């Protein structure tokens, strides 16, 4: 009889423990749903969604500068690229959009030289997206400058002249400047968006490419409101 009572007591205790665990788990799920809802609803948190630079970059002019740190070799940059066109279209003349390649290794430095050479040769509008596609869709590799020249030839442009532009002193100066900018802004990963020289938006475990754009929109609106004269 004592054994039966003990067994019954243990069974009830086990059920109580399981019930308590279920309640705790349900409470945790409910709490997390509140957090997710709050984040999705449009609240953006400093040090989580974006960083405030200790030494802001000086921005000239009235337009809000949006600087994208990127690399042609970055798949997430490839995903973000067409969405940035939407951001530019939405805000129009309110913002000034600037791309800056990150040149943290030899291969990315070559790809950065491609970006600046596209600008030097006035081919950015024609070849920027195709070059992204070549790497991430066609899976082409560009182990040296000549391989880039061959690709440019295939696009109907002058590959030899393009390689010369990549090696030019002006492109090399731009590469050095881009490297300084990334280091000053403490860019550790790409893509990253520097909003008006003050706020760094970068991807994290909780900040997706889509959320980066939402955060950037929020910061653009903040800067726009801050620049408007107060009503007297």
Q: Report the share of the chain in percent with pLDDT over 70.
A: 80
Residue 232, domain member (yes or no): no
Q: What is the CATH number of the domain that holds 187?
A: 3.40.30.10
- Mean pLDDT to the nearest integer, 206-228: 90
Tokens of 124: 């950015």
* Interacting residues of 202 by C-beta distance below 8 A, sequence separation 6+: 51, 187, 188, 189, 190, 191, 192, 193, 212
Residue 46, domain member (yes or no): no
Does residue 7 surpass a pLDDT of 60?
Answer: no
- For residues 175 and 60, membership in a common domain is answered with yes
For residue 113, what pLDDT is reported?
98
Backbone dihedral angles phi then psi of residue 61, each to the nearest 5 degrees:
90, 175
CA pair distance 11, 114, nearest whole angstrom: 71
Q: Report the share of the chain in percent with pLDDT over 90.
A: 75
* Domain ranges, residue 92: 51-227
For residue 19, what pLDDT is reported?
52
Categorize the per-residue pLDDT at 206 as very low, low, confident or very high, splitting at 50, 70 and 90. Answer: confident
Does residue 127 surpass a pLDDT of 80?
Answer: yes
- Residues 60-80 have pLDDT tens digits of 999 999 999 999 999 999 999
Residue 102, domain member (yes or no): yes
CA pair distance 155, 165, nearest whole angstrom: 16
- For residues 68 and 167, membership in a common domain is answered with yes
- Which of the residue ranges 50-59, 81-90, 146-155 has the most confident prediction, judged by mean pLDDT? 146-155
- For residues 81 and 193, membership in a common domain is answered with yes
Single out the residue of 179, 124, 194, 176 nearest to residue 152, CA to CA: 124
- C-alpha distances (whole Å) from 55 to each of 43, 51, 52, 181, 197 are 25, 12, 9, 12, 9
- Residues 141-188 have pLDDT tens digits of 999 999 999 999 999 999 999 999 999 999 999 999 999 999 999 999
- For residues 204 and 117, membership in a common domain is answered with yes
Range list of β-strands (E), 54-142: 64-70, 95-101
Cis amide bond preceding 191, omega within 30: yes
For residue 39, what pLDDT is reported?
47
For residue 9, what pLDDT is reported?
47
- Residues 12-39 have pLDDT tens digits of 555 555 554 444 444 443 334 433 433 4
Could you report how far apart the first and last alpha carbons of the chain are, in Å?
87
Residue 13, domain member (yes or no): yes
- For residues 100 and 129, membership in a common domain is answered with yes
3-class state of residue 97 by DSSP: strand
Distance of CA 226 to the CA centre of its chain: 24
Burial of 92 (0-12, 13-18, 19+ CB in 10 A): exposed
Range list of β-strands (E), 59-209: 64-70, 95-101, 192-195, 199-201
Does residue 94 surpass a pLDDT of 50?
Answer: yes
CA-based Rg of the chain, rounded to a whole angstrom?
26
For residue 198, what pLDDT is reported?
96
Helix (H) or strand (E) holding 51: strand 51-52
Categorize the per-residue pLDDT at 104 as very low, low, confident or very high, splitting at 50, 70 and 90. Answer: very high
For residue 205, what pLDDT is reported?
85
Tokens of 107: 């291969």
Mean pLDDT of all residues belonging to the chain: 86
Q: What is the pTM of this model?
A: 0.79
* Interacting residues of 134 by C-beta distance below 8 A, sequence separation 6+: 140, 151
- For residues 172 and 73, membership in a common domain is answered with yes
- For residues 109 and 13, membership in a common domain is answered with no
**Domain count of the chain?**
2
């Amino acid at each position: 009889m004592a054994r039966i009572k003990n067994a019954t007591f243990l069974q009830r205790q086990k059920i109580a423990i399981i019930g308590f665990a279920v309640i705790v788990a349900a409470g945790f799920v409910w709490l997390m749903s509140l957090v997710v809802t709050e984040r999705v609803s449009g609240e953006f948190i400093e040090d989580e969604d974006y960083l405030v630079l200790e030494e802001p970059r000086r921005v000239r002019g009235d337009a809000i500068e949006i600087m994208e740190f990127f690399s042609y070799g970055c798949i997430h940059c490839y995903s973000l690229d067409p969405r940035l066109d939407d951001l530019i279209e939405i805000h129009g003349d309110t913002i000034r959009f600037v791309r800056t390649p990150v040149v943290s290794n030899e291969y990315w430095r070559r790809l950065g030289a491609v970006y600046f050479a596209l600008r030097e040769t006035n081919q950015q509008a024609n070849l920027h997206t195709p070059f992204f596609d070549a790497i991430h869709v066609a899976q082409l590799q560009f182990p040296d400058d000549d391989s880039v020249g061959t690709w440019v030839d295939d696009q109907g442009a002058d590959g030899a002249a393009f390689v010369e532009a990549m090696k030019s002193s002006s492109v090399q100066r731009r590469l050095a400047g881009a490297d300084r900018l990334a280091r000053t802004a403490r860019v550790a990963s790409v893509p990253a968006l520097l909003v008006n020289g003050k706020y760094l938006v970068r991807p994290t475990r909780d900040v997706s490419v889509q959320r980066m754009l939402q955060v950037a929109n929020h910061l653009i609106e903040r800067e726009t409101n801050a620049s408007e004269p107060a009503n007297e």
